[in-house]
Amino acid sequence: SIEHENLIQLEQTLQTRWDKYKQELFELQNKIISDATALQTKNMTLITATNNQMLMVAACSISMLLLVVFIIGYNLYKHLITPVTEASQALTVLEQQTEYTPLKEARYQELHNIRNTVNSLNGTMKKLHEMATRDALTGCINRGY
């Protein structure tokens, strides 16, 4: 019976220790869960902030790209398309030998000079072709022809 009492007392001691360890394990489990939740919340906050920064950078990049495309398009229109269109209209007027009022006098003179220069170059090209394909002394077709 003493042995039995010792066993019962040992069982109670062990049960008390077990309950104490079980309580400590339960508290550790709760602390781990709490720390994991806090870490996950912190990570999600960082991810959200990073995503917001990436969206801002992308939006700024797209805005800058659109601005550059607009500026290039405007400059192409202003400095290339408009003068070529005006020059084409003016050359048409020069060919028809009529007056073209939208052009300023200086612009008209420039176009007239351009037309004369192109005609002169055309004549020079014909002379060069003639010199390259015909003998200078006899006027016969040469080997280059």
CA distances in angstroms from 83 to 15, 32, 91, 108, listed in the order given: 100, 75, 12, 12
Mean pLDDT of 36-40: 95
Q: Express each pLDDT in 70-115 by its tens digit.
A: 999 999 998 888 878 877 877 787 778 776 566 566 666 777 788 8
Mean pLDDT of 27-45: 96
Domain-embedded: residue 145:
no
Query: Taking the model in full, what pTM does it have?
Result: 0.43
Helices and strands: H and E segment counts in the chain: 3, 0
Domain-embedded: residue 40:
yes
How many domains, in total, are found in the chain?
A: 1
Output the pLDDT for position 103: 55
**Do the beta carbons of residue 81 and residue 89 sit within 8 Å?**
no
Domain-embedded: residue 92:
yes
Structural domain span for residue 38: 2-133
